[in-house]
Amino acid sequence: MLTIHHLAMSQSERVVWLCEELGLDYRLVRYERTSAMAAPAEYKALHPAGTAPTIEDGGVVLAESGAVFAYILAKYGDGRLACGPEDADFAEYLFWLHFANGTIMPSQIAGLVLRSLGVTAGNPLSDGVVSRVAQAEAMMEARLTAAPFLGGANFTAADIMNLFALTTLAIFAPRDLGPFPHLRAYIARIRQRPAYLRAMALAEPNRAHG
Amino acid sequence: MLTIHHLAMSQSERVVWLCEELGLDYRLVRYERTSAMAAPAEYKALHPAGTAPTIEDGGVVLAESGAVFAYILAKYGDGRLACGPEDADFAEYLFWLHFANGTIMPSQIAGLVLRSLGVTAGNPLSDGVVSRVAQAEAMMEARLTAAPFLGGANFTAADIMNLFALTTLAIFAPRDLGPFPHLRAYIARIRQRPAYLRAMALAEPNRAHG
Protein backbone atom coordinates (compact mmCIF):
# COMPACT_ATOMS: atom_id res chain seq x y z
CA MET A 1 0.00 0.00 0.00
CA LEU A 2 1.10 3.57 -0.73
CA THR A 3 2.45 5.41 2.32
CA ILE A 4 2.55 9.20 2.47
CA HIS A 5 5.02 10.63 4.95
CA HIS A 6 3.55 14.04 5.72
CA LEU A 7 5.62 16.73 7.40
CA ALA A 8 3.38 19.31 9.12
CA MET A 9 3.07 22.66 7.30
CA SER A 10 4.83 21.37 4.21
CA GLN A 11 4.34 20.59 0.53
CA SER A 12 3.38 17.01 1.37
CA GLU A 13 -0.17 18.15 2.22
CA ARG A 14 -0.63 18.25 -1.59
CA VAL A 15 0.06 14.53 -1.88
CA VAL A 16 -2.61 13.75 0.71
CA TRP A 17 -5.04 15.91 -1.26
CA LEU A 18 -4.09 14.22 -4.54
CA CYS A 19 -4.75 10.78 -3.05
CA GLU A 20 -8.08 11.93 -1.59
CA GLU A 21 -9.14 13.30 -5.00
CA LEU A 22 -8.20 9.98 -6.60
CA GLY A 23 -9.95 7.99 -3.85
CA LEU A 24 -6.84 5.87 -3.24
CA ASP A 25 -6.20 3.65 -0.28
CA TYR A 26 -3.08 4.93 1.43
CA ARG A 27 -1.40 5.04 4.80
CA LEU A 28 -0.64 8.48 6.24
CA VAL A 29 2.25 9.01 8.67
CA ARG A 30 2.39 12.53 10.09
CA TYR A 31 5.50 14.22 11.49
CA GLU A 32 5.57 17.41 13.54
CA ARG A 33 8.25 20.01 12.88
CA THR A 34 10.89 20.68 15.55
CA SER A 35 10.82 23.87 17.62
CA ALA A 36 13.20 25.35 15.02
CA MET A 37 10.57 24.51 12.33
CA ALA A 38 12.86 21.90 10.77
CA ALA A 39 11.95 18.37 9.74
CA PRO A 40 12.64 15.91 12.58
CA ALA A 41 15.49 13.41 12.23
CA GLU A 42 13.06 10.53 11.51
CA TYR A 43 11.73 12.45 8.50
CA LYS A 44 15.18 13.30 7.16
CA ALA A 45 16.13 9.63 7.41
CA LEU A 46 13.38 8.52 5.01
CA HIS A 47 15.18 9.54 1.79
CA PRO A 48 18.66 10.93 1.03
CA ALA A 49 17.02 14.23 0.04
CA GLY A 50 15.50 14.50 3.51
CA THR A 51 12.65 16.63 2.14
CA ALA A 52 8.84 16.61 2.12
CA PRO A 53 7.03 15.01 0.41
CA THR A 54 8.44 11.51 0.67
CA ILE A 55 6.31 8.51 -0.24
CA GLU A 56 6.83 4.74 -0.11
CA ASP A 57 5.25 2.21 -2.44
CA GLY A 58 6.44 -1.37 -2.22
CA GLY A 59 10.23 -1.07 -2.41
CA VAL A 60 10.11 2.45 -3.85
CA VAL A 61 10.98 5.47 -1.68
CA LEU A 62 10.44 8.69 -3.61
CA ALA A 63 10.89 12.42 -2.86
CA GLU A 64 10.43 15.68 -4.87
CA SER A 65 6.87 17.00 -5.29
CA GLY A 66 6.95 16.90 -9.10
CA ALA A 67 8.26 13.34 -9.14
CA VAL A 68 5.76 12.15 -6.52
CA PHE A 69 2.86 13.65 -8.45
CA ALA A 70 4.04 12.15 -11.76
CA TYR A 71 4.50 8.76 -10.08
CA ILE A 72 1.06 8.62 -8.42
CA LEU A 73 -0.74 9.93 -11.52
CA ALA A 74 1.00 7.43 -13.80
CA LYS A 75 0.64 4.43 -11.46
CA TYR A 76 -2.78 5.07 -9.96
CA GLY A 77 -4.40 7.99 -11.80
CA ASP A 78 -5.87 6.06 -14.72
CA GLY A 79 -5.86 9.32 -16.70
CA ARG A 80 -7.77 11.26 -14.03
CA LEU A 81 -6.67 14.78 -12.92
CA ALA A 82 -4.28 15.05 -15.87
CA CYS A 83 -4.31 16.04 -19.55
CA GLY A 84 -2.74 13.89 -22.25
CA PRO A 85 -0.95 15.01 -25.45
CA GLU A 86 -4.16 14.72 -27.48
CA ASP A 87 -5.98 17.16 -25.15
CA ALA A 88 -6.36 20.81 -26.25
CA ASP A 89 -5.40 21.86 -22.70
CA PHE A 90 -2.19 19.76 -22.66
CA ALA A 91 0.39 22.58 -22.87
CA GLU A 92 -1.44 24.82 -20.39
CA TYR A 93 -1.89 21.90 -18.02
CA LEU A 94 1.86 21.18 -18.12
CA PHE A 95 2.74 24.84 -17.67
CA TRP A 96 0.62 25.24 -14.56
CA LEU A 97 1.61 21.85 -13.18
CA HIS A 98 5.22 23.10 -13.17
CA PHE A 99 4.44 26.72 -12.31
CA ALA A 100 4.08 26.12 -8.55
CA ASN A 101 7.54 24.75 -7.81
CA GLY A 102 9.16 26.37 -10.88
CA THR A 103 7.97 29.97 -10.58
CA ILE A 104 5.79 31.20 -7.74
CA MET A 105 7.21 29.20 -4.83
CA PRO A 106 10.92 29.96 -5.50
CA SER A 107 10.07 33.69 -5.54
CA GLN A 108 8.03 33.42 -2.33
CA ILE A 109 10.81 31.48 -0.60
CA ALA A 110 13.46 33.95 -1.81
CA GLY A 111 11.32 36.69 -0.27
CA LEU A 112 11.27 34.87 3.08
CA VAL A 113 15.06 34.45 3.01
CA LEU A 114 15.64 38.12 2.17
CA ARG A 115 13.27 39.22 4.94
CA SER A 116 15.13 37.02 7.44
CA LEU A 117 18.32 38.84 6.41
CA GLY A 118 16.70 42.23 6.92
CA VAL A 119 16.77 42.93 3.16
CA THR A 120 13.54 44.85 2.57
CA ALA A 121 11.80 47.30 0.23
CA GLY A 122 14.20 49.61 -1.58
CA ASN A 123 16.82 46.90 -2.06
CA PRO A 124 16.76 45.87 -5.75
CA LEU A 125 16.83 42.16 -4.88
CA SER A 126 13.88 42.49 -2.51
CA ASP A 127 11.95 44.66 -4.97
CA GLY A 128 12.70 42.16 -7.75
CA VAL A 129 11.33 39.25 -5.72
CA VAL A 130 8.18 41.14 -4.72
CA SER A 131 7.61 42.05 -8.34
CA ARG A 132 8.07 38.44 -9.48
CA VAL A 133 5.49 37.20 -6.94
CA ALA A 134 3.06 39.91 -8.07
CA GLN A 135 3.68 38.95 -11.70
CA ALA A 136 2.98 35.29 -10.85
CA GLU A 137 -0.30 36.25 -9.15
CA ALA A 138 -1.27 38.41 -12.13
CA MET A 139 -0.60 35.44 -14.45
CA MET A 140 -2.88 33.26 -12.32
CA GLU A 141 -5.56 35.97 -12.35
CA ALA A 142 -5.38 36.20 -16.15
CA ARG A 143 -5.56 32.44 -16.48
CA LEU A 144 -8.53 32.14 -14.13
CA THR A 145 -10.32 34.91 -16.01
CA ALA A 146 -10.01 32.80 -19.18
CA ALA A 147 -10.61 29.32 -17.69
CA PRO A 148 -12.30 27.89 -14.58
CA PHE A 149 -9.17 25.97 -13.53
CA LEU A 150 -5.45 26.49 -14.07
CA GLY A 151 -5.21 23.44 -16.32
CA GLY A 152 -8.24 24.55 -18.34
CA ALA A 153 -11.80 23.25 -18.36
CA ASN A 154 -11.31 20.66 -15.63
CA PHE A 155 -9.89 20.46 -12.12
CA THR A 156 -6.47 18.76 -12.40
CA ALA A 157 -3.27 18.08 -10.51
CA ALA A 158 -2.12 21.55 -11.62
CA ASP A 159 -4.66 23.05 -9.21
CA ILE A 160 -3.47 20.79 -6.38
CA MET A 161 0.15 21.78 -6.99
CA ASN A 162 -0.52 25.52 -6.86
CA LEU A 163 -2.98 25.97 -3.98
CA PHE A 164 -0.25 25.34 -1.38
CA ALA A 165 1.55 28.52 -2.53
CA LEU A 166 -1.63 30.51 -1.92
CA THR A 167 -2.62 28.98 1.42
CA THR A 168 -0.06 27.23 3.65
CA LEU A 169 3.02 28.96 2.22
CA ALA A 170 1.14 32.26 2.28
CA ILE A 171 0.86 31.93 6.08
CA PHE A 172 4.60 32.66 6.15
CA ALA A 173 4.56 35.07 3.20
CA PRO A 174 1.15 36.79 3.34
CA ARG A 175 -0.02 38.69 0.26
CA ASP A 176 -2.89 41.03 -0.48
CA LEU A 177 -4.92 39.35 -3.24
CA GLY A 178 -7.35 42.28 -3.39
CA PRO A 179 -6.40 43.13 -6.99
CA PHE A 180 -7.10 39.56 -8.15
CA PRO A 181 -10.85 38.78 -7.78
CA HIS A 182 -10.84 35.68 -10.01
CA LEU A 183 -7.90 34.24 -8.08
CA ARG A 184 -9.64 34.91 -4.75
CA ALA A 185 -12.88 33.30 -5.93
CA TYR A 186 -10.95 30.30 -7.26
CA ILE A 187 -9.13 29.77 -3.96
CA ALA A 188 -12.40 29.97 -2.01
CA ARG A 189 -14.03 27.54 -4.44
CA ILE A 190 -11.43 24.79 -4.52
CA ARG A 191 -10.94 24.97 -0.75
CA GLN A 192 -14.52 23.73 -0.45
CA ARG A 193 -13.85 20.52 -2.37
CA PRO A 194 -14.72 17.54 -0.16
CA ALA A 195 -11.42 15.81 -0.96
CA TYR A 196 -9.49 18.95 0.06
CA LEU A 197 -11.38 19.19 3.34
CA ARG A 198 -10.82 15.49 4.06
CA ALA A 199 -7.11 15.78 3.22
CA MET A 200 -6.53 18.86 5.34
CA ALA A 201 -8.43 17.41 8.31
CA LEU A 202 -5.97 14.50 8.19
CA ALA A 203 -2.80 16.43 7.26
CA GLU A 204 -3.27 19.59 9.32
CA PRO A 205 -5.74 18.70 12.09
CA ASN A 206 -4.68 21.70 14.21
CA ARG A 207 -5.67 24.33 11.63
CA ALA A 208 -9.06 25.54 10.42
CA HIS A 209 -9.86 24.75 6.79
CA GLY A 210 -12.42 25.59 4.14
CA MET B 1 7.66 23.28 -36.86
CA LEU B 2 8.90 23.44 -33.27
CA THR B 3 10.73 26.68 -32.47
CA ILE B 4 13.16 26.91 -29.55
CA HIS B 5 13.78 30.42 -28.27
CA HIS B 6 17.20 30.12 -26.68
CA LEU B 7 18.48 32.78 -24.30
CA ALA B 8 22.29 32.72 -24.10
CA MET B 9 23.74 31.16 -20.91
CA SER B 10 20.37 29.88 -19.77
CA GLN B 11 18.39 26.73 -19.10
CA SER B 12 17.09 26.71 -22.67
CA GLU B 13 20.37 25.12 -23.85
CA ARG B 14 18.87 21.90 -22.43
CA VAL B 15 15.93 22.06 -24.84
CA VAL B 16 18.29 22.34 -27.82
CA TRP B 17 20.19 19.31 -26.50
CA LEU B 18 16.95 17.35 -26.00
CA CYS B 19 15.89 18.04 -29.58
CA GLU B 20 19.32 17.07 -30.92
CA GLU B 21 19.19 13.78 -28.96
CA LEU B 22 15.73 13.09 -30.41
CA GLY B 23 16.85 14.06 -33.92
CA LEU B 24 13.94 16.49 -34.31
CA ASP B 25 13.56 19.16 -36.94
CA TYR B 26 13.33 22.47 -35.14
CA ARG B 27 14.03 26.14 -35.64
CA LEU B 28 16.45 27.79 -33.22
CA VAL B 29 16.23 31.50 -32.41
CA ARG B 30 19.06 32.73 -30.22
CA TYR B 31 18.93 35.82 -27.98
CA GLU B 32 21.92 37.49 -26.33
CA ARG B 33 21.63 38.72 -22.75
CA THR B 34 21.75 42.46 -22.06
CA SER B 35 24.83 44.07 -20.50
CA ALA B 36 23.08 43.60 -17.11
CA MET B 37 22.82 39.82 -17.91
CA ALA B 38 19.03 40.06 -18.19
CA ALA B 39 16.85 38.64 -20.93
CA PRO B 40 16.23 41.23 -23.68
CA ALA B 41 12.75 42.73 -24.08
CA GLU B 42 12.05 40.59 -27.18
CA TYR B 43 12.62 37.46 -25.10
CA LYS B 44 10.43 38.62 -22.21
CA ALA B 45 7.64 39.36 -24.70
CA LEU B 46 7.43 35.76 -25.89
CA HIS B 47 5.43 34.44 -22.91
CA PRO B 48 3.86 36.08 -19.82
CA ALA B 49 6.48 34.31 -17.67
CA GLY B 50 9.25 36.02 -19.63
CA THR B 51 11.65 33.19 -18.79
CA ALA B 52 13.89 30.74 -20.65
CA PRO B 53 13.15 28.26 -22.04
CA THR B 54 10.21 29.29 -24.18
CA ILE B 55 9.14 27.20 -27.16
CA GLU B 56 6.51 27.58 -29.87
CA ASP B 57 4.72 24.75 -31.61
CA GLY B 58 1.83 25.62 -33.90
CA GLY B 59 -0.34 27.89 -31.76
CA VAL B 60 1.27 26.75 -28.49
CA VAL B 61 3.71 29.02 -26.63
CA LEU B 62 5.14 27.24 -23.61
CA ALA B 63 7.61 28.15 -20.84
CA GLU B 64 8.98 26.34 -17.71
CA SER B 65 11.76 23.77 -18.22
CA GLY B 66 9.82 20.89 -16.71
CA ALA B 67 6.74 21.64 -18.80
CA VAL B 68 8.75 22.06 -22.02
CA PHE B 69 10.53 18.75 -21.46
CA ALA B 70 7.27 16.92 -20.69
CA TYR B 71 5.64 18.46 -23.77
CA ILE B 72 8.41 17.55 -26.22
CA LEU B 73 8.85 14.05 -24.81
CA ALA B 74 5.10 13.35 -24.95
CA LYS B 75 4.55 14.88 -28.39
CA TYR B 76 7.74 13.87 -30.19
CA GLY B 77 9.67 11.46 -27.96
CA ASP B 78 7.92 8.24 -28.96
CA GLY B 79 9.04 6.76 -25.62
CA ARG B 80 12.69 7.66 -26.14
CA LEU B 81 14.81 9.27 -23.36
CA ALA B 82 12.12 8.50 -20.78
CA CYS B 83 11.00 5.65 -18.50
CA GLY B 84 7.38 4.53 -18.28
CA PRO B 85 5.46 3.22 -15.24
CA GLU B 86 6.24 -0.39 -16.16
CA ASP B 87 10.00 0.29 -16.13
CA ALA B 88 12.01 -0.75 -13.05
CA ASP B 89 13.81 2.62 -13.22
CA PHE B 90 10.58 4.66 -13.32
CA ALA B 91 10.71 6.18 -9.81
CA GLU B 92 14.44 6.96 -9.98
CA TYR B 93 14.00 8.48 -13.43
CA LEU B 94 11.23 10.76 -12.14
CA PHE B 95 13.24 11.72 -9.07
CA TRP B 96 16.28 12.78 -11.08
CA LEU B 97 14.20 14.43 -13.79
CA HIS B 98 12.82 16.75 -11.08
CA PHE B 99 16.01 16.96 -9.01
CA ALA B 100 17.66 19.63 -11.21
CA ASN B 101 15.06 22.37 -10.88
CA GLY B 102 13.65 21.05 -7.59
CA THR B 103 16.79 20.59 -5.50
CA ILE B 104 20.26 21.41 -6.78
CA MET B 105 19.55 24.55 -8.83
CA PRO B 106 17.47 26.38 -6.17
CA SER B 107 20.33 25.85 -3.70
CA GLN B 108 22.94 27.04 -6.21
CA ILE B 109 20.87 30.11 -7.07
CA ALA B 110 20.26 30.88 -3.38
CA GLY B 111 24.05 30.75 -2.94
CA LEU B 112 24.54 33.29 -5.75
CA VAL B 113 21.96 35.62 -4.22
CA LEU B 114 23.53 35.40 -0.76
CA ARG B 115 26.99 36.04 -2.19
CA SER B 116 25.70 39.11 -4.02
CA LEU B 117 24.44 40.39 -0.64
CA GLY B 118 27.82 39.78 0.98
CA VAL B 119 26.41 36.95 3.11
CA THR B 120 29.28 34.46 3.28
CA ALA B 121 30.74 31.57 5.28
CA GLY B 122 29.90 31.73 8.97
CA ASN B 123 26.36 32.98 8.36
CA PRO B 124 23.96 30.09 9.04
CA LEU B 125 21.98 30.76 5.85
CA SER B 126 25.12 30.72 3.71
CA ASP B 127 26.46 27.62 5.45
CA GLY B 128 23.09 25.93 5.03
CA VAL B 129 23.04 26.59 1.29
CA VAL B 130 26.62 25.39 0.80
CA SER B 131 25.79 22.25 2.73
CA ARG B 132 22.66 21.61 0.61
CA VAL B 133 24.65 21.93 -2.62
CA ALA B 134 27.29 19.54 -1.25
CA GLN B 135 24.54 17.12 -0.20
CA ALA B 136 23.05 17.27 -3.71
CA GLU B 137 26.45 16.51 -5.25
CA ALA B 138 26.97 13.63 -2.82
CA MET B 139 23.55 12.22 -3.83
CA MET B 140 24.57 12.40 -7.50
CA GLU B 141 27.89 10.71 -6.70
CA ALA B 142 26.09 7.89 -4.85
CA ARG B 143 23.63 7.46 -7.71
CA LEU B 144 26.38 7.38 -10.35
CA THR B 145 28.31 4.84 -8.30
CA ALA B 146 25.25 2.56 -8.46
CA ALA B 147 24.12 3.27 -12.07
CA PRO B 148 25.72 4.59 -15.27
CA PHE B 149 23.12 7.36 -15.67
CA LEU B 150 20.96 9.32 -13.24
CA GLY B 151 17.80 7.68 -14.55
CA GLY B 152 19.35 4.20 -14.33
CA ALA B 153 20.66 1.91 -17.04
CA ASN B 154 20.03 4.29 -19.94
CA PHE B 155 20.75 7.90 -20.84
CA THR B 156 17.48 9.84 -20.38
CA ALA B 157 16.02 13.33 -20.15
CA ALA B 158 17.01 13.25 -16.46
CA ASP B 159 20.66 13.52 -17.52
CA ILE B 160 19.87 16.42 -19.86
CA MET B 161 18.02 18.27 -17.09
CA ASN B 162 20.87 18.00 -14.59
CA LEU B 163 24.02 18.67 -16.61
CA PHE B 164 23.24 22.40 -16.85
CA ALA B 165 23.64 22.70 -13.06
CA LEU B 166 27.10 21.17 -13.29
CA THR B 167 28.34 23.11 -16.34
CA THR B 168 26.75 26.42 -17.38
CA LEU B 169 25.31 27.31 -13.96
CA ALA B 170 28.59 26.20 -12.34
CA ILE B 171 30.38 28.96 -14.30
CA PHE B 172 28.62 31.40 -11.96
CA ALA B 173 28.75 29.12 -8.90
CA PRO B 174 31.97 27.09 -9.27
CA ARG B 175 32.39 24.00 -7.10
CA ASP B 176 35.27 21.62 -6.39
CA LEU B 177 34.07 18.19 -7.53
CA GLY B 178 37.33 16.56 -6.39
CA PRO B 179 35.55 14.40 -3.79
CA PHE B 180 33.14 13.02 -6.41
CA PRO B 181 35.06 10.90 -8.97
CA HIS B 182 32.02 9.16 -10.44
CA LEU B 183 30.27 12.48 -10.93
CA ARG B 184 33.35 13.96 -12.62
CA ALA B 185 33.70 10.97 -14.95
CA TYR B 186 30.00 11.13 -15.77
CA ILE B 187 30.15 14.83 -16.66
CA ALA B 188 33.18 14.26 -18.89
CA ARG B 189 31.45 11.32 -20.55
CA ILE B 190 28.10 12.87 -21.39
CA ARG B 191 29.74 16.11 -22.56
CA GLN B 192 31.25 14.03 -25.38
CA ARG B 193 27.89 12.92 -26.73
CA PRO B 194 27.57 14.02 -30.37
CA ALA B 195 24.11 15.48 -29.78
CA TYR B 196 25.43 17.55 -26.85
CA LEU B 197 28.31 18.87 -28.93
CA ARG B 198 25.97 19.73 -31.81
CA ALA B 199 23.52 21.44 -29.44
CA MET B 200 26.16 23.49 -27.66
CA ALA B 201 27.81 24.56 -30.93
CA LEU B 202 24.42 26.00 -31.93
CA ALA B 203 23.28 27.31 -28.54
CA GLU B 204 26.57 28.64 -27.17
CA PRO B 205 28.85 29.21 -30.17
CA ASN B 206 31.14 31.54 -28.23
CA ARG B 207 32.16 28.98 -25.60
CA ALA B 208 34.41 25.91 -25.82
CA HIS B 209 32.62 22.58 -25.31
CA GLY B 210 33.40 18.92 -24.81
Residue pair B118/B125 in contact by the 8 Å Cβ criterion: no
Residues of chain B in contact with residue A70, where contact means CB-CB under 8 angstroms, are 94, 97-98
Chain A residues whose C-beta is within 8 A of a chain B C-beta are 48-51, 57, 60, 62-67, 70-71, 74-75, 84-85, 90-91, 94-95, 97-99, 101-103, 106, 109-110, 113, 116-117, 119, 125, 135, 139, 142
Q: Please tell me the predicted confidence (pLDDT) of residue A187.
A: 98
CA distance A180 to chain B (A): 16
Residue pair B113/A117 in contact by the 8 Å Cβ criterion: no
Mean of the pLDDT values across residues B83-110? 96
Residue that wins the pLDDT comparison between A12 and B208:
A12
- Which of B57, B62, B66 minimises the CB distance to A66? B66
Q: Residue A208 pLDDT more than 90?
A: no
pTM of the complete model beyond 0.90: yes
- Per-residue pLDDT of A18-46, as tens digits, reads 999 999 999 999 999 999 999 999 999 99
Distance CA B167, CA B163 (A): 6
Residue pair A51/A39 in contact by the 8 Å Cβ criterion: yes
What one-character DSSP code corresponds to residue A123?
Answer: S
* A189 contacts: CB under 8 Å, gap ≥ 6: none
Q: Residue B128 pLDDT more than 90?
A: yes
Q: Please tell me the predicted confidence (pLDDT) of residue B210.
A: 65
Percent helix, strand and coil across chain B, each to the nearest 5: 55, 10, 35
Mean pLDDT score across all residues of chain A: 96
Nearest chain B residue to A55 by CA distance is B91
Q: Residue B90 pLDDT more than 70?
A: yes
- Per-residue pLDDT of A165-204, as tens digits, reads 999 999 998 899 999 999 999 999 999 999 999 999 999 9
Residue pair B19/B72 in contact by the 8 Å Cβ criterion: yes
ipTM of the complex: 0.96
Residues of chain A in contact with residue B127, where contact means CB-CB under 8 angstroms, are none
The answer to whether the CB atoms of A64 and B94 lie below 8 A apart is yes
Q: Please tell me the predicted confidence (pLDDT) of residue A210.
A: 65
What is the pLDDT confidence band of residue B23, given thresholds at 50, 70 and 90? Answer: very high
Single-letter amino acid, residue B79: G
- Per-residue pLDDT of A62-86, as tens digits, reads 999 999 999 999 999 999 999 999 9
Q: Please tell me the predicted confidence (pLDDT) of residue B208.
A: 84
What is the pLDDT confidence band of residue A6, given thresholds at 50, 70 and 90? Answer: very high
Q: Please tell me the predicted confidence (pLDDT) of residue B62.
A: 98
